[in-house]
């Protein structure tokens, strides 16, 4: 048998797109025979129209529900445990998640940990932090109602949390975590503040570039069994299509939705772009920008992003990712200049006369244009980090094997330190 893989597997959730499709969720659960649903959301979304719409639809169609509103924005292992404990005291036969990626990821964890309680919390968590045990069997139906246009979590089998003991993010990745159905309803993003739309949209941008530039799927080691083929498989011909189209849509619509939240066409296309990128990276994977983002958000000191209704320091996920992205792609471009130039072109750059050795600079400059356009902080210094923090940032990145090993150019500790240094200010 080949030493390297020769196959990739395309797995994604079903999605339904349309203005107002959230109102159909009660009919869907009734048709599946769901008697009682556990509805998860966060304290802020709980006060908004999407949750009210979901609950009204469930009640109108005879489905009982239990509501949990304490999901933490940028969840931790502690907040996951709280949600899991709540679910353990509740009778339900389906899960409904209404909110951003934090809510959707928490719901995936609740589904797994209540269906198959592990001996140790870290059993399912990605190695080397956890043991990486596969999901033992089918989970309960999960219905995802995203209220941001960024994470693409409604399409993926990935759930991310901040592991408090290490001040770094990690997660769980398995195809069985994927929601049963995602509702792409542009009505649900109407109340996004511009800064939240910017952070979410730039997460889409980096998802798409990372999945398109990741190592090819046929360069990974061949798994002992097909079941052990990872969710993040490397760039592949199907993910490529979704990722490049997501970049084209971000280029056309992110500035518009940032400028005018009432722009219906822009909102609709950004929630689609988020799912397109989710299909891409949910199968190909992300690499260094995401791996390096986890300690940036996990070690935040005092920075608070305007527009986020939280009472603690916070570097939102999309911001922590994009702050590293220009420096990363300057580093990785040498491994595959053509792919980096294709990504820059999808974002609107003129690459017709660009030499291969300039691919990283061109792509980085195009990303920086979007960062400036939507008011993102100018590098890691702007969110409170200094050169003296780099050793700890590197330490927090090194365990993120699930993503860092997909980098098209291997990055040792000294390489990561140089990238972080480059990302301090642009």
pTM for this prediction: 0.94
pLDDT in tens, 180-213: 999 999 999 998 899 999 999 999 999 999 999 9
Sheet arrangement for strand 94-99: 14-17, 181-184, 142-146, 94-99, 36-40, 64-68
Best-predicted range by mean pLDDT (302-311, 356-365, 398-407): 356-365
Three-state secondary-structure class, residue 96: strand
Q: What is the mean pLDDT of residues 157-186?
A: 92
Q: What is the mean pLDDT of residues 332-359?
A: 98
Does residue 167 carry a pLDDT above 80? no
- What pLDDT band is residue 177 in, cutting at 50, 70 and 90? very high
Three-state secondary-structure class, residue 182: strand
Q: Tokens for 230? A: 């990872």
Q: How many angstroms separate the CA atoms of 240 and 247, rounded?
A: 11
Q: What is the mean pLDDT of residues 330-356?
A: 98
> Which of 66-70, 73-77, 408-412 is predicted least confidently?
73-77
Write down the pLDDT at residue 221. Answer: 93
pLDDT in tens, 221-277: 999 989 888 889 999 999 999 999 999 999 999 999 999 999 999 999 999 999 999
Write down the pLDDT at residue 306. Answer: 85
Does residue 323 carry a pLDDT above 90? yes
Alpha-helical segments (H) within 287-336: 288-298, 317-322, 325-332
pLDDT in tens, 114-130: 999 999 999 999 988 99
Confirm if 28 and 60 have CB atoms less than 8 A apart.
no
Residues in CB range of 52: below 8 A, 6 or more apart = none
Helix (H) or strand (E) holding 212, with range, is helix 194-213
Buried b (16+ CB within 10 A) or exposed e, 219-231: ebeeeeeeeebbb
> Which of 32-46, 156-170, 411-425 is predicted least confidently?
156-170
Give, as one character, the DSSP assignment of residue 310. -
Taken in order of first residue, the domains within the chain and their CATH numbers are 20-184 (3.40.50.1970), 194-422 (1.20.1090.10)
Write down the pLDDT at residue 231. Answer: 87
The total number of residues shown for the chain amounts to: 426
Q: How many angstroms separate the CA atoms of 369 and 364, rounded?
A: 9
- What pLDDT band is residue 1 in, cutting at 50, 70 and 90? low
- What pLDDT band is residue 312 in, cutting at 50, 70 and 90? confident
Q: Which of 102, 98, 76 is nearest to 142 (CA)?
A: 98
Please name the residue that has the structure tokens 């009982």: 64
Percent of the chain predicted with pLDDT > 70? 100
pLDDT in tens, 369-386: 999 999 999 999 999 999
Does residue 404 carry a pLDDT above 60? yes
- What pLDDT band is residue 421 in, cutting at 50, 70 and 90? very high
Q: What is the mean pLDDT of residues 294-308?
A: 90
Per-residue CA distances from 294 to 83, 315, 424 (Å): 22, 10, 16
Confirm if 183 and 22 have CB atoms less than 8 A apart.
yes
Q: What is the mean pLDDT of residues 323-338?
A: 98
Give, as one character, the DSSP assignment of residue 116. S
Write down the pLDDT at residue 77. Answer: 96
Q: What is the CA radius of gyration of the chain?
A: 20
Give, as one character, the DSSP assignment of residue 306. T
Q: How many angstroms separate the CA atoms of 249 and 199, rounded?
A: 16
Confirm if 301 and 179 have CB atoms less than 8 A apart.
no
User: How high is the mean pLDDT of the chain?
Assistant: 95
Confirm if 274 and 281 have CB atoms less than 8 A apart.
no
Give the sign of the dihedral formed by CA 204, CA 205, CA 208, CA 211: negative
Write down the pLDDT at residue 310. Answer: 80
């Amino acid at each position: 048998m080949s030493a390297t893989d020769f196959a990739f597997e395309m797995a994604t959730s079903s999605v339904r797109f349309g203005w107002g499709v959230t109102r159909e969720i009660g009919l869907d659960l009734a048709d599946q025979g769901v008697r009682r649903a556990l509805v998860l959301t966060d304290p802020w979304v709980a006060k908004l129209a999407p949750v009210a719409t979901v609950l009204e639809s469930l009640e109108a169609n005879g489905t009982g529900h239990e509501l949990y509103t304490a999901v933490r924005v940028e969840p931790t292992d502690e907040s996951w445990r709280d949600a899991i404990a709540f679910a353990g005291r509740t009778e339900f036969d389906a899960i409904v998640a209404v909110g951003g990626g934090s809510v959707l990821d928490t719901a995936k964890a609740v589904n797994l940990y209540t269906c198959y309680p592990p001996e140790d919390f870290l059993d399912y968590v990605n190695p080397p932090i956890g043991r990486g045990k596969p999901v033992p069997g089918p989970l309960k139906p999960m219905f995802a109602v995203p209220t941001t246009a960024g994470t693409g979590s409604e399409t993926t089998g990935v759930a991310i949390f901040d592991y408090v003991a290490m001040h770094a993010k990690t997660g769980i990745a398995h195809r069985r975590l994927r929601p049963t159905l995602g509702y792409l309803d542009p009505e649900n993003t109407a109340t996004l503040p511009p800064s939240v739309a910017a952070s979410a949209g730039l997460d889409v941008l980096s998802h798409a570039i990372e999945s398109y530039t990741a190592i090819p799927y046929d360069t990974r080691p061949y798994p002992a069994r097909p079941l052990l083929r990872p969710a993040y498989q490397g760039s592949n011909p199907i993910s490529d299509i979704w990722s490049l189209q997501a970049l084209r849509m971000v280029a056309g619509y992110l500035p518009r939705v940032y400028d005018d939240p009432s722009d219906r066409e822009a909102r609709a296309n950004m929630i689609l772009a988020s799912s397109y990128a989710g299909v891409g990276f949910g199968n190909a994977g992300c690499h260094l920008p995401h791996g390096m983002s986890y300690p940036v958000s996990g070690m935040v000191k005092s920075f608070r992003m305007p527009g986020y209704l939280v009472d603690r320091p916070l570097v939102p996920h999309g911001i922590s990712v994009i702050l590293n992205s220009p420096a990363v792609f300057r580093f990785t471009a040498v491994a595959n200049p053509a792919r980096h130039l294709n990504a820059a072109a999808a974002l609107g750059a003129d690459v017709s006369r660009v030499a291969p050795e300039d691919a990283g600079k061109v792509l980085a400059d195009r990303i920086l244009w979007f960062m400036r356009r939507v008011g993102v902080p100018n590098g890691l210094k702007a969110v409170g980090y200094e050169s003296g923090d780099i050793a700890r940032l590197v330490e927090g990145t090194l365990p993120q094997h699930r993503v860092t090993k997909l980098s098209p150019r291997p990055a040792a500790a000294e390489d990561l330190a140089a990238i972080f240094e480059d990302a301090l200010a642009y």
